[in-house]
């Protein structure tokens, strides 16, 4: 290997990144300058990847958890020839409609494995990918046929490690001995506010030892060979994930900024970019110019990657011949459309007609689904028995039993969500994550990434509203429905009974680029008539008005639908013609055409009311300025649930009274 050429190849990453930030006049040059040798060593020598096929099932994964270093990632993708990411794209860094946005975006730039930026997220997604690999390997590999056999690399900085999610997911990775996870810590001792000493004096390596990691360190982050040796050691360790602390200098090569906080998040300045070229002995003056020899070097490396996939494909072909059933099963795992046909099978839409909590119904549905969808795995943040998310008869996922389908996440809602995102990003699996609805607050930062990436994550959120009862206001969601409905590209489903719960699961499994939150009751709900597949339209007429024209539109969801029906009865006895609309999913209703929306909610009917034991905010656009809101806009209390529904006015009589007074 030509050592000088390798050095120039490393510096190409630095120069391109610095040029990108400088041209955009925006971005983060500090990390790419410091961490380029790490990235180079991983991508050039340690990672098994084929730029020609970024979807190769068994590729090693690389996640840039420190997503603000995106210019480094784009430089790598460009140099390795991913998806024809051209030099023009690098020149358009951070510009409108470019392939090179400020932070890496999944589904936007070929080769980007995950959207990162919110710190710590990448660590969690990497754990999810490593989990998926271990599970799939246990399910599908056979002696001599390592179909799934890849590493997951994740590069993080101090910021990622200060975030609490880092402890949640790394403790989980240690417990489950995800030994193909390799965490690379770009340790530069600098944060935005100054030296890490001001806020972060902990012994990070020791923390990872406590989690059950092999902990390694590299003193000179400019020595790719030393980095390579540490990675080899990480790969050799069976039974523990590895954490490699690599000492780097933020802003390396820029005398004025090296090792300083000011190197982190602003362009270097024209003079400093010039100084960088000098200190690196970079041969070309022109911005974005890279020597041909460097390109050739990267292309040769890319061809090596193609070769690796070629051999894997040969092995996989033999595997298919020897184990045709396994191969067919594997293909079914990767068939995104399989839920649709499976759910349309007879029996799924059958009504049992039993009054139950929607969480219990959900548990039954899930257990019906488990054999139809063998690639569905999931778990709860230590509330499985309450969330009714345990797949009965299935084993637990663990170090000893990675083929298990029930994941024990521990009390780590945020980490769980990131891990679940990672499982989906890996491919081949569907997954759900569960906790009490109120604790979706902890999940929020990572749910936002599910939405942004368009991942079909299913969040099973039980114990909704004041129906929680005795646990009181800390455990009673009020504003969470609004919070989730306001999140773009998220389906929030609050079913009212069995059939709507089935519809919710159906929707969740068949919405392939949108995550779904299932909001489920703790308490039993009455059996309703006329519910069913219509719920898939988000909102529908559950009870038509008695008269020719409705005097009142009454909207409700979940546990309040039966209250609305009873309130409607009271009012109809008084001669008011009431239409009851069940609206289990506002988001799906918004996706319907205008005709349907106006069919359900005729613009001519101005009298409108809503009953929902949650904040009023999300109903304004349906119920309007003069509407009647029977909602919860303050915190709940601790008492038996029935008393709380009474206290806060969620009874048929109280609702009818309020509506009469306000509207009629």
The residues in 190-249 that bind its own copies, with binding defined as CB under 8 A, are: 191-194, 198-207, 209-212
Which x/- pattern over 414-433 shows residues binding its own copies (rule: CB under 8 A)? xx------------------
Q: Which region among 370-378, 434-442, 497-505, 544-552 touches its own copies (by CB under 8 A)?
A: 434-442
User: Of the candidates 18, 20, 44, 119, which one interacts with its own copies according to CB under 8 A?
Assistant: 119
For 347, counting Cβ atoms within 10 Å of its Cβ (0-12 exposed, 13-18 middle, 19+ buried), the class is exposed
User: Of the candidates 40, 62, 312, 409, which one interacts with its own copies according to CB under 8 A?
Assistant: 409
The kind and range of the H/E element at 629 are: strand 628-630
Query: Where in 378-407 is the site for its own copies (CB under 8 A)?
Result: 380, 382-386, 396, 398
User: Of the candidates 341, 395, 474, 573, which one interacts with its own copies according to CB under 8 A?
Assistant: 474
**In contact, 501 and 460? CB cutoff 8 Å:** no
Residue 103 binds its own copies, judged by CB under 8 A: yes
User: Of the candidates 187, 583, 618, 656, which one interacts with its own copies according to CB under 8 A?
Assistant: 618
190 - beta bridge partners? 195
Q: Which region among 10-18, 83-91, 92-100, 559-567 touches its own copies (by CB under 8 A)?
A: 92-100
Q: Residues 6 or more apart from 431 whose CB is under 8 A from it?
A: 376, 377, 378, 420, 423, 424, 457, 458
Residue 589 binds its own copies, judged by CB under 8 A: no
Q: Which is nearer to its own copies, 474 or 573 (CB)?
A: 474
**In contact, 74 and 84? CB cutoff 8 Å:** no
List the one residue out of 132, 133, 87, 81 whose CA is nearest residue 110.
81
Q: Considering the complex, what minimum distance in angstroms separates the CB of residue 26 from its own copies? A: 4
Q: Which region among 82-90, 298-306, 463-471, 500-508 touches its own copies (by CB under 8 A)?
A: 463-471
Q: Considering the complex, what minimum distance in angstroms separates the CB of residue 444 from its own copies? A: 5
Q: Which is nearer to its own copies, 401 or 512 (CB)?
A: 401
Taking 3-state DSSP, the helix, strand and coil percentages for the chain, each rounded to the nearest 5, stand at 50, 15, 40
Alpha-carbon distance of 158 to 359, in angstroms, equals 40
User: Of the candidates 20, 147, 508, 644, which one interacts with its own copies according to CB under 8 A?
Assistant: 644
Q: Considering the complex, what minimum distance in angstroms separates the CB of residue 122 from its own copies? A: 11
DSSP state of 610: E
Q: Which is nearer to its own copies, 57 or 455 (CB)?
A: 455
Residue 69 binds its own copies, judged by CB under 8 A: no
Alpha-carbon distance of 621 to 583, in angstroms, equals 13
* HEC secondary structure over 28-45: CCHHHHHHHHHHHHHHHH
Q: Residues 6 or more apart from 324 whose CB is under 8 A from it?
A: none
List the one residue out of 25, 108, 23 whose CA is nearest residue 73.
108
Query: Where in 476-515 is the site for its own copies (CB under 8 A)?
Result: 478-479, 482-483, 485-489
3-state secondary structure of 59: coil
Residue 617 binds its own copies, judged by CB under 8 A: yes
Question: Taken in order 97, 99, 101, 107, is the CA torsion positive or negative?
Answer: positive
Q: Which is nearer to its own copies, 453 or 655 (CB)?
A: 453
User: Of the candidates 344, 512, 635, 653, which one interacts with its own copies according to CB under 8 A?
Assistant: 635
Residue 101 binds its own copies, judged by CB under 8 A: yes
Alpha-carbon distance of 8 to 282, in angstroms, equals 7
Instruction: State the number of binding residues for its own copies (CB under 8 A).
Output: 116
Pairing of strands 242-247, 181-187: parallel
Q: Considering the complex, what minimum distance in angstroms separates the CB of residue 535 from its own copies? A: 22
User: Of the candidates 116, 222, 242, 597, which one interacts with its own copies according to CB under 8 A?
Assistant: 116
Active site residue 413: yes
486 - beta bridge partners? none
Alpha-carbon distance of 12 to 594, in angstroms, equals 53
Q: Which region among 39-47, 164-172, 283-291, 316-324 touches its own copies (by CB under 8 A)?
A: 164-172
**In contact, 569 and 652? CB cutoff 8 Å:** yes
Residues marked active site are found at 413
């Amino acid at each position: 290997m030509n050592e000088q050429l390798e050095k120039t190849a490393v510096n190409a990453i630095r120069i391109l990144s610095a040029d990108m930030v400088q041209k955009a006049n925006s971005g983060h040059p500090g990390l790419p300058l410091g961490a380029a040798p790490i990235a180079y060593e991983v991508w050039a020598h340690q990672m098994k990847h084929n730029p020609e096929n970024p979807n190769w099932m068994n590729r090693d994964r690389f996640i840039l958890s420190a997503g603000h270093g995106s210019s480094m990632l784009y430089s790598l993708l460009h140099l390795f020839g991913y998806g024809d990411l051209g030099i023009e794209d690098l020149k358009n860094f951070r510009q409108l409609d470019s392939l090179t946005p400020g932070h890496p975006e999944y589904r936007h730039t070929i080769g980007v494995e995950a959207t990162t930026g919110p710190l710590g997220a990448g660590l969690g997604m990497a754990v999810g990918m490593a989990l998926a690999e271990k599970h799939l390997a246990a399910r599908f590999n056979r002696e001599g046929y390592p179909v799934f056999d890849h590493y997951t690399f994740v590069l993080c900085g101090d910021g990622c490690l200060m975030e609490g999610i880092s402890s949640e997911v790394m403790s989980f990775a240690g417990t489950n001995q995800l030994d193909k996870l390799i965490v690379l810590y770009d340790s530069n001792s600098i944060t935005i506010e100054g030296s890490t000493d001001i806020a972060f004096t902990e012994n990070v390596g020791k923390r990872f030892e406590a989690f059950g990691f092999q902990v390694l360190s590299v003193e000179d982050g400019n020595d790719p060979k030393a980095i390579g040796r540490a990675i080899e050691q990480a790969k050799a360790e069976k039974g523990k994930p590895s954490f490699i602390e690599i000492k780097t200098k933020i802003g390396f090569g820029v005398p004025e900024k090296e090792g300083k906080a000011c190197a982190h998040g602003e362009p270097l300045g024209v003079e400093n970019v010039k100084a960088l070229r000098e200190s690196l002995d970079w041969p070309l003056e022109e911005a974005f110019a890279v020597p041909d020899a460097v390109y050739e070097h990267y292309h040769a490396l890319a061809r090596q990657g193609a070769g690796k996939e070629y051999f894997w494909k040969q092995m996989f072909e033999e595997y298919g011949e020897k184990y045709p059933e396994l191969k067919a099963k594997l293909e079914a795992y990767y068939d995104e459309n399989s839920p649709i046909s499976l759910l349309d099978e007879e029996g799924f839409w059958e009504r049992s007609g039993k009054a139950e909590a929607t969480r219990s119904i959900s548990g039954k549905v899930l257990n019906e689904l488990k054999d139809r969808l063998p690639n569905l795995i999931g778990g709860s943040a230590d509330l499985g028995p309450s969330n009714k998310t345990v797949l009965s008869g299935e084993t637990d996922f663990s170090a000893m039993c990675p083929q298990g389908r029930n994941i024990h996440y521990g009390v780590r809602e945020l980490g769980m969500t990131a891990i679940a995102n990672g499982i989906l990003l890996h491919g081949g699996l569907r997954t759900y994550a569960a906790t009490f609805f109120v604790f979706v607050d902890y999940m929020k930062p990572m749910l936002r990434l599910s939405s942004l990436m368009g991942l079909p994550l299913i969040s099973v959120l039980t114990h909704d509203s004041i129906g929680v009862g005795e646990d009181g206001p800390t455990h009673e969601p009020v504003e969470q429905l609004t919070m989730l409905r306001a999140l773009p590209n998220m389906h929030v489903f609050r079913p009212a009974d069995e059939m709507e719960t089935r519809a919710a699961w159906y929707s969740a499994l068949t919405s392939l680029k949108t995550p779904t939150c299932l909001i489920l009751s703790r308490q039993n709900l009455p059996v309703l008539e006329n519910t069913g597949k219509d719920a898939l339209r988000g909102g529908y007429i559950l009870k038509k008005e008695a008269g020719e024209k409705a005097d009142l539109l009454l909207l409700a969801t979940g546990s309040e639908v039966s209250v609305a029906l009873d309130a409607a009865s009271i009012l109809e006895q008084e001669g008011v013609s009431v239409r009851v609309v069940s609206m289990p999913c506002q988001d799906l209703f918004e996706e319907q055409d205008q005709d349907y929306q106006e069919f359900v909610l005729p613009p001519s009917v101005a009298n409108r009311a809503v009953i929902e034991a949650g904040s009023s905010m999300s109903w304004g656009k349906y119920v309007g300025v003069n509407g009647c809101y029977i909602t919860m806009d303050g915190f709940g209390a601790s008492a038996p649930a029935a008393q709380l529904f009474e206290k806060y006015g969620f009874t048929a009589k109280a609702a009818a009274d309020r509506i009469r007074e306000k509207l009629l």
